[in-house]
Amino acid sequence: MTGSEAVLSRPAGFPIRSRQGRRVLVATVLGASIAGIDASVVTVALPDIGRDLGASFASLQWTVTGYTLSLASLILLAGGLGDRYGRRRIFLAGVAVFTLASVLCSAVPDVRTLVGARILQGVGGALMAPASMAILQSTIAPGDRPVAIGTWSGFAGIAGVLAPFAGGWLLSLGSWRWIFLINVPVAVVVLVVSLRHLPETRDEGSSGMDWGGSALAFAALAAATYALTVLPADPTRPWGWGSAVVAVGAGPASPGTNGERRRRCCPRRHWGRGRSSPSPRSRSSSTARSPCSP
């Protein structure tokens, strides 16, 4: 079993100046950067896309909104999947989905297909973003993590700022379809480096996915993103207010957040899962001091 395939239950502790630490940083920074680029680069090409595909202004809005909606609504679930099934595995899946969606965006025949491909791009971005940060936190040495996270955040921000300029330059050279194909070579580099050098990490203490809570969290985030997107432009739209009601109702009702909080701060609820049970005295004492009562 190679170093990239081994599952690490504890942080590997690679110094950021080591060869392995730099490889981890390059893969995660590039992965987060391509997701950030596509959040803003498309806005520059919207007039050209509209003329080429004969799309209305409302349809063009959804090429941006569809990406934001899927990215924001799935990012919490994607983080849980990485902790449960492996952060490297979820990160690689995100890069693959994002690359496939980028190729589809460059070859779409109409705006509806473009919106669908953009939603798929958001799914890939949601899988990449939390996994890349979690990989840094679980593999970089504790003393170097602030530098690594700062580098990750800085380059992701720079990529988002430079994306419109790069998009305008590509438009001046050729078709708007090129702004999606520019992601492909970067994604290939990320895949190669990740497959060869990223170690697998996961939360070995995870008790399983709370699919009901994850579904409610997804509904709340999707509804909130949709409402915040459409209501400022058209406050009379009924679907926007309906989404706001769903967001308000589904968010507090989600058992996923509360369940995870109780699992972490009240481990006594899960002593039966392969752990030895404490004495009655210690159980009653810990219950009295616990900040998270039922």
Average pLDDT in the 107-119 region? 93
Instruction: Answer whether 87's CB lies under 8 Å from 169's CB.
Output: no
- Residue 42 lies in domain: 7-204
Domain membership flag for residue 1: no
Domain membership flag for residue 161: yes
Instruction: Answer whether 35's CB lies under 8 Å from 120's CB.
Output: no
Same domain, 192 and 218: no
> pTM of the prediction?
0.74
Count of structural domains within the chain: 2
pLDDT at 85 over 70: yes
Q: How many CA atoms lie within 13 A of 29 on its CB side?
A: 18
Same domain, 172 and 252: no
CA distance linking residue 41 with residue 80, whole number of Å: 29
Domain membership flag for residue 124: yes
CA distance linking residue 37 with residue 58, whole number of Å: 22
Same domain, 14 and 74: yes
Domain membership flag for residue 276: no
Same domain, 107 and 53: yes
Same domain, 157 and 255: no
Same domain, 156 and 136: yes
The tens digit of pLDDT for each residue in 130-154 reads 999 999 999 999 999 999 999 998 9
User: Which DSSP string do the residues of 37-81 spell out, in sequence order?
Assistant: HHHHHHHHHHHHHHHHHT--HHHHHHHHHHHHHHHHHHHHHHHHH
pLDDT band for position 247 (cuts 50, 70, 90): low
Same domain, 112 and 246: no
Same domain, 199 and 216: no
Q: Give Cα 12 to chain centroid, integer Å.
A: 23
Compute how many other C-beta atoms are within 10 angstroms of the C-beta atom of residue 150: 10
User: Which DSSP string do the residues of 99-162 spell out, in sequence order?
Assistant: HHHHHHHHT-SSHHHHHHHHHHHHHHHHHHHHHHHHHHHHHB-GGGHHHHHHHHHHHHHHHHHH
Which DSSP category does 204 fall into? Answer: T
pLDDT band for position 38 (cuts 50, 70, 90): confident
Domain membership flag for residue 271: no
pLDDT at 42 over 50: yes
